[in-house]
Structure 1
Amino acid sequence: MATITDIASIAEVSISTVSRVLNYDPSLSVTEETKRKIFEAAEKLNYTKYKTKQKQKVIAPIKQQKKEISIGIVQWRIDDEELEDIYYMSIRMGVEKRAAELGCDLLKISQLDPNVIQGLDGLLAIGKFTQEKVAELHSLHPNLCVIGSNFPLDDYDSVNTDFAQATELALNHLIDLGHQKIAFIGAEESQNMYGYRRYKTPTVNTYLDMMKHYDLYDDSYFIVKENSALDVKTGEELALQALDAWKESLPTAILAANDAFAIGIIHTLTAKGIAVPEEISVMGINDISVSRYVSPPLSSVRAFTEEMGETGIELLYNRISNPSVARRIFLSTYLIVRESTGEPRKT
C-alpha cells in the first residue's frame, strides 16, 4: 500500500497537508488544485486493478483499429465536484488509462453541441444522469455507453457495480462480528435513479431487506435523506441529527451509504467523544483510495472503479467497431476489513 509520504512526494506538498486533505479536514485551507493533485496521486498509487484473492489474469489488449477512435466524455460530476466524492474521479482515471492504451482520442464535452458530438465515434457518460439526459445523449449519438446509471437499457451499453452484493457483504461482516443494532445512514439522488419502490438504490433496499429478514430492523436506526448529495458534509450533518435522536439508545454499528458518508460520520462521532470502533463500528461502501488513510482506517466494500472506467471504454470501442446487442455489465465487489469495525461494545 502506498504511504502518505509517497503521496506527498508526488503531489509536492507536506505530509501533514496530505493527511488532512485525505481526512477531509474542514479547517484546512488549501486550493482545489492542491486537493486534486493529492487525490489523483492517491488514486494512481493505489490503483486497484484486479487486486483480489484470485490469481491475477492477463487481459489481452483489443486489436488496434487503423483509424484513431475519437470518444467524447460527458461527466455528471465535473471539476471541483469530483473532489467531494472521488468515486467518479477514479472511474474517469480508469477511462483515461484504458483509452490511452487503445490509442483513443478523448474529448471532454461540457456543452452538448450536436455538430461536435456527431463528429465523434462515440460518447461515454460517467455518473447518475437523469433518464431525460441519457435519452438526449443517445439521440445525439447512437454509440453510447453510460457508467453508473441504473436506468434500463435502450440500445446503449452500461457499466455499474453490484451494490446489492456490496451491501450484503458489509452487513454480513457486521453481523458476523456480533452486531444486531446496525444503523444505516445514507442519501439518495432519487430524481437521477430508476425504480418503482420508494427508495431507488440497491444499497438502501438491500439493507431494508436483510435487516427485516433477520428480524433486526429498527426504524429509528434507518436514516436516509432523499434528493441529496452523498458527500462528507452531509454525512456529518445526518450523523449529528441521528445522535440527537438516539440519545442513549446508540446502535453498535453504522453502515454508511458510501465512504464519503462514513468519513463524515466518523468526524461527528469523534467530535462527540464516541470512539470508533470501541463504541460504534463504522462501515463504508466503495473503498475509495482515501479510505485507508482516514483515522481509523475505514472498513469498506471495494467497488472496482478503475475497472468500471476501463470496461466502459472497451464496451464502447467494441460497439464502434462491431455494433451488437446492448450490454449491461455489473462488476463484483470485495470486502476490505480495516480498523473502523470490531466486535460490539459490552452493554
Structure 2
Amino acid sequence: MATTLKDIAQATGVSLTTVSRVLNRDPSLSVGTATRKRIFATAAQLNYQKMPASPEEIKPRPQKIALVQWYSKSREQDDLYYMAIRMGIEQCSQQHQLEVIRVFQNNLTQLTQPVDGVIAVGKFSADQVQLLRTLTANLVFVDDDQFAAGFDSVITDFKLAVQQVVAVFLKQQRRDIGLIYGTETTTDGQRQIHDPRQIAFKETLTAQQLYRPEFTFQSDFTNQGGYRAMQQALTTLGDQLPHAFFVANDPMATGALKALQKAQIAVPQRVSLFSFNDTVLAKYVYPELSSVHVATELMGCTAVKLLCSRFQKKRPPQRVELGTQLIMRASTNLESE
C-alpha cells in the first residue's frame, strides 16, 4: 500500500496537520529544524509519493497583463481622462482576476517579466505598435484606432459628439462658432496625432457653410494651452470673437474660461463654451462647463473583456466604438440673457 501522511505522522510522532504543512513547505509554519528534517527523512524512507491535486484543487496562475500608459505619472495627473481609463482597466481586471503591471510613458524597460496580454492606452507609432506586438499576440488598444493594423481597438465616436455640440449652438442661434483644439505626438516623436474633433468640426460646419478657419486655434491639451489659445483669439479677433467655442478637452476649456474672465467677457452671455471628456474639472470651475461625457471607465473595461476573449480563443480583430452624452451646465445656459 502507498504511504500516507498518517503513516509519516505515526512514525515521527508529529501531528498529521504539521506533517502536511511541512511537506507542502508552508512558509507560515513555525516548527523546529530538527522536526522538519525528521519528517522529510521519514517521508523519503517510507517512499512517500505526493498525490496529484484534483482539478478542483488546482489553482491556475493568475494571468498577467501590462497596462501601457503613453502618459507619464505626472502628466496623467494633469489629464484625468487617461487616468479614468486606467482606473477602469484596473477595476475590471480585478474582477477577472488579472494581475496588472503598470507601465508609464510607454517605457517598456519597466517590464521585468513576461506578460500574457497588453492593453495600450493612448497614441502609438507604427514602430511602437510592432514593439508591443513582440511582447504578446494578445494586444488591445484604447483611444487609438489600430484596427486597420490588425489589432483590437476601443475608441470614442467623436464625429457624432461634435455634430451634437454644433446643433446645441445653432439652436441657441449662435452661428459664429470657434474651436480650440490640440495636437500631440507619440512618445518617440514618430507620429503626429491629428485631433479627430477638429476634423469632425470642420466637416460639420463646412456642410452647413459656417466654417471659418480664422475662428480655429491650435495649442496643446493643457490648461495653459487653452489659456494661450483663447488669448490669441481675443487678440486677433477683437469684437469679431465668436459667440460660441467648442474646446477639445476640459483642461483646455478651463484655461480658455480663465482667459475670458480675465478679459471680462461674460460666459455664457457673450461667449458660450462647450468642452469635451467631462472629467471632474468641468464641475469645479465657475460657471460649470457643459461637456461631452466620454465613458472612460467603460472604455477600460471593454478593453479588458476583449483581452479576456483573446485568452479564450483566436478570433479576428474587433473595433468597438462607444457613444457619448452631452452634459449641459452653466457655460451654455443662456436663460439669463
User: What TM-score, normalized by structure 2, do the two folds share?
Assistant: 0.76
The residue type equivalent to 2:305 in the other structure is E
Q: CA deviation at 1:67?
A: 4.1
- Partner residue, 1:318: 309
The residue type equivalent to 1:251 in the other structure is P
Residue from 67, 71, 94 that aligns with 2:65: 71
Q: CA deviation at 1:88?
A: 0.1
Tell me the C-alpha RMSD between the 2 structures: 2.5
1:332 matches 2:326:
no
Matched-pair contact (CA < 8 Å) for 1:259–1:285: yes
Decide whether aligned partners of structure 1 residues 285 and 82 sit closer, same or farther in structure 2, where only a CA change above 3 A counts: same
- Partner residue, 2:198: 204
Matched-pair contact (CA < 8 Å) for 1:188–1:230: yes
Q: 1:171, 1:259 → 2: CA distance?
A: 17
- Partner residue, 1:4: none
Q: Secondary structure at the match of 1:340?
A: helix
Residue from 176, 179, 182 that aligns with 1:187: 182
The residue type equivalent to 2:246 in the other structure is L
- Structure 1 stretches of at least 4 aligned residues deviating more than 6 Å after TM superposition: none
Matched-pair contact (CA < 8 Å) for 2:233–2:241: no
Q: CA deviation at 1:128?
A: 1.4
Decide whether aligned partners of structure 1 residues 312 and 116 sit closer, same or farther in structure 2, where only a CA change above 3 A counts: same
Unaligned runs of 5+ in 2: 1-58
Matched-pair contact (CA < 8 Å) for 1:179–1:343: no
Higher mean C-alpha displacement, 99-108 vs 145-154: 145-154
Residue from 77, 81, 93 that aligns with 1:83: 77
Decide whether aligned partners of structure 1 residues 125 and 94 sit closer, same or farther in structure 2, where only a CA change above 3 A counts: same
1:169 matches 2:164:
yes
1:280 matches 2:276:
no
Deviations 1:52-84 (A, max 9, x none): xxxxxxxxxxxxx95422111111112111122
Q: Secondary structure at the match of 2:252?
A: helix
Name which structure has the greater RCO, CA cutoff 8 Å, separation 6+: 1
Q: 2:186, 2:138 → 1: CA distance?
A: 25
Residue from 216, 220, 245 that aligns with 1:222: 216
Q: 2:214, 2:156 → 1: CA distance?
A: 29
Unaligned runs of 5+ in 1: 1-64, 193-197
Matched-pair contact (CA < 8 Å) for 2:147–2:153: no
The residue type equivalent to 2:282 in the other structure is S
Q: 1:96, 1:191 → 2: CA distance?
A: 23
Matched-pair contact (CA < 8 Å) for 1:280–1:345: no
Higher mean C-alpha displacement, 151-160 vs 257-266: 151-160
Matched-pair contact (CA < 8 Å) for 1:147–1:159: yes
Matched-pair contact (CA < 8 Å) for 1:94–1:306: yes
Q: CA deviation at 1:114?
A: 10
Q: Secondary structure at the match of 1:276?
A: coil
Q: 1:135, 1:344 → 2: CA distance?
A: 53
Q: 2:111, 2:151 → 1: CA distance?
A: 21
User: What TM-score, normalized by structure 1, do the two folds share?
Assistant: 0.74
Q: 1:190, 1:204 → 2: CA distance?
A: 16
Q: 1:165, 1:206 → 2: CA distance?
A: 8
Decide whether aligned partners of structure 1 residues 345 and 289 sit closer, same or farther in structure 2, where only a CA change above 3 A counts: closer
Higher mean C-alpha displacement, 71-80 vs 149-158: 149-158
The residue correspondences of 1:19-58 to structure 2 (distance < 5 A) are none
1:105 matches 2:137:
no
Q: 1:305, 1:131 → 2: CA distance?
A: 24
Decide whether aligned partners of structure 1 residues 257 and 237 sit closer, same or farther in structure 2, where only a CA change above 3 A counts: same
The residue type equivalent to 2:181 in the other structure is G
1:159 matches 2:154:
yes
Q: CA deviation at 1:116?
A: 3.6
The residue type equivalent to 1:184 in the other structure is L
- Partner residue, 2:248: 257
The residue type equivalent to 2:162 in the other structure is T
Counting matched residue pairs gives: 275
Deviations 1:174-209 (A, max 9, x none): 1111110110111122568xxxxx983321111111
Q: CA deviation at 1:344?
A: 10
Deviations 1:216-273 (A, max 9, x none): 1122112224xxx311110101111111001111110110011221111001101111
